[in-house]
Structure 1
């Protein structure tokens, strides 16, 4: 049994989101499999609440996971949202422990109203990260001696998104996102004979570049009372979609003379243009509470990864389930006396399963999230 435990601290500037650009710096052995590590999705506010989104409507933030929510964008606002994400990750299994501190680009979004009850959002979002750096030795035999394996991955896949949401009825909102997925992941695997320079070392190198279009549609149902209490429910469905895929695979051998690498000899070099099939998914959930005071909710997400087909990827795909729950509390949003009473306090939790099997088992992920919104 493997477990992945993540604790994330997420801070949100409630009315003005700023950030500093950061390069991807995620190093996880699980990024070798499938299309890489799937990035955490959702804006900071929702992620601090465990990743809930289906029932969230906010006139001053963008909930791209549920495009029906765009209809709540304030008519007098233009929203720009940029962020980076920092996380401490710890992986355990079979007596081994792997820890890394990761900083990644989170999102770049902008949204604006067309008219009351109709909003538009555009965004660039990371989808999967293929970065890893793993090395280990195996004893070999009396002929070959020690073999050192070094596996390196780099690159990732992203989505450029354009969506709109419209509220045709007081209790109903509908929305759709169209997106373009693109990117490239490169994997390099070196097998080195460290005890004998007379043996040839082997390098297997492969890259996979993808691009293509997809869409997702959502609906939200809203009930409110004169006391500003509300109940929202939402569903978002993403159909399966195809991506153009170009794979480039190279196998070479080379020798080491003292500390110098020499004599690269190409054994095979193949290129393949094909099609990848990305899975469909369903997200459903609700939120309830009192406007400007309390919001609580839960989401369920199911993705049919077993129906995916991605040439050039490692591992066996399996359907994945994730559960999310969280809450936000504001003591007194309009307080004239206490800055801390105007702050937004958030916390949540989540459970998830890996979309690939490792030694025939799913990796379980448990997360605790918390954060604050600071009024500006």
Structure 2
């Protein structure tokens, strides 16, 4: 057990040092708006395999931070680390592009402080920004103008949650998160003349905005679990996320660059300013039915009033969003000795919803299907249990109608969960 503990601590330190920079998601054009592409999976890889359901679906051996009240059910010390990636095909008009990236997705640690109380600490992305979009048009027969929009960075969430049992079946929870991160966005324009620029390099003028965000975010949650009949239980949970104002410090500048990105003249104009970005409240609800052993069905609904969002300039550029999802998991026989695959947990799910993005009068939709597995590995004992978690997903965001961009994406997550019993009184007989 102590070897496992040392490994956990070392891994956690390394991951926390690296995690705040793990924000790349490839080219995501719609992350240009708001604070980027919001991370819908506030749980873990188990939740991702079930289409991110989990607000009302607890697990004893997986840390479910989607609802802080469900942390109570983690009665052993647990550590999780995951890596996530995405490969996507972008389509607009007659053109297409394939892109992708992979990075650290989350690091989570939970520990029971008492029989009725468990706490958890997690580091994960809150939003991601990664886009590179170019537009070219003709000014005259020989002159063309190219405008490029590029952004990168994101906001990271350091989560600290608590789940407490109030009475039989009823648990409540709360969490406080520190949001922090930097988003860099720039637009550059260049004009080329087909006659003058033959064989010559050209120049562009770039306008850059570097914004640093930080503030606190709070959630409250509750869950009630009731036995319906023999080997059938129902749980219902809800989470409310309070609105918050992110402090924002921005540095803006103009630069003159050569065709290969080399800066010819910087600081043509620089300025600094301060503002606040309003993050609206959100509400999540979920229900699940399980047999108390190896089968669970879950359904979630989350809504956020992004129409109340205000960007750095105080402008409203998003719309109210929602996401509905259903998922299930099944373990044939967790105690099987002769067949390993009977000890594997299998998951699947479906989701559909409206994103906060509105372009050309149309709200961008997102839909997809997921699958996942948890595979035990190593030598499990009454003190330690090791699990390899995977989740896969295929989805479609947006449309090619009306000149918009459609993303066909394939997501994958892989990670490890270690459950360990730390606080056991030894007896010598």
Same fold (TM over 0.5): yes
TM-score by structure 1 length? 0.87
The 3-state SS of whatever aligns with 2:35 is: coil
Superposed, 1:129-208 pairs within 5 Å as 129-142=128-141, 145-195=143-193, 196=196, 201-208=204-211
The 3-state SS of whatever aligns with 1:316 is: coil
Deviation at 1:225, TM superposition (A): 5.5
User: Structure 1 residues 226, 247: closer, same or farther in 2, change over 3 A?
Assistant: same
Q: Deviations over 1:224-245 (max 9, x none)?
A: 2573321000000001111111
Match of residue 226 from structure 2: 223
Asked if residue 243 in structure 1 is aligned to residue 246 in structure 2, the reply is yes
Comparing 52-61 with 23-32, which one deviates more in the overlay? 23-32
Deviation at 1:149, TM superposition (A): 2.6
The 3-state SS of whatever aligns with 1:31 is: helix
Match of residue 363 from structure 2: 362
Q: Deviations over 1:133-169 (max 9, x none)?
A: 23342222247x1222333212110111101010111
Asked if residue 375 in structure 1 is aligned to residue 379 in structure 2, the reply is no
Large movers: runs of 4+ above 3 Å = 18-23, 90-99, 196-200, 225-228, 252-256, 259-263, 265-268, 312-315
Match of residue 342 from structure 1: 343
Deviation at 1:40, TM superposition (A): 3.8
Superposed, 1:48-63 pairs within 5 Å as 48-63=49-64
Does the 8 Å CA contact 1:49/1:327 hold for their aligned counterparts? yes
Could you say which structure has the higher helix fraction? 2
CA distance in 1, matches of 2:317, 2:91: 21
Match of residue 106 from structure 1: 105
Comparing 24-33 with 170-179, which one deviates more in the overlay? 24-33
TM-score by structure 2 length? 0.77
Match of residue 252 from structure 1: 255
- Structure 1's unaligned 5+ residue stretches are 1-15
Superposed, 1:252-331 pairs within 5 Å as 252-253=255-256, 263-264=264-265, 266-311=267-312, 316-331=317-332
Deviation at 1:188, TM superposition (A): 2.0
The 3-state SS of whatever aligns with 1:348 is: strand
The 3-state SS of whatever aligns with 2:147 is: strand
Deviation at 1:117, TM superposition (A): 2.5
CA distance in 2, matches of 1:205, 1:280: 30
Deviation at 1:252, TM superposition (A): 3.4
Does the 8 Å CA contact 1:35/1:313 hold for their aligned counterparts? no
Report the RMSD for the aligned CA atoms in angstroms.
2.6
Does the 8 Å CA contact 2:245/2:279 hold for their aligned counterparts? yes
Q: Deviations over 1:58-83 (max 9, x none)?
A: 11111111000011112xx2111110
Match of residue 12 from structure 1: none
The 3-state SS of whatever aligns with 1:146 is: strand
User: Structure 1 residues 289, 139: closer, same or farther in 2, change over 3 A?
Assistant: same
Match of residue 26 from structure 1: 26
- Structure 2's unaligned 5+ residue stretches are 1-7, 378-429
Q: Deviations over 1:296-352 (max 9, x none)?
A: 010000001111112159981110010111000111111122111111110001112
Comparing 58-67 with 89-98, which one deviates more in the overlay? 89-98
Deviation at 1:217, TM superposition (A): 0.2
Does the 8 Å CA contact 1:84/1:105 hold for their aligned counterparts? yes
Q: How many residues align?
A: 355
CA distance in 2, matches of 1:35, 1:260: 26
Does the 8 Å CA contact 2:309/2:316 hold for their aligned counterparts? no
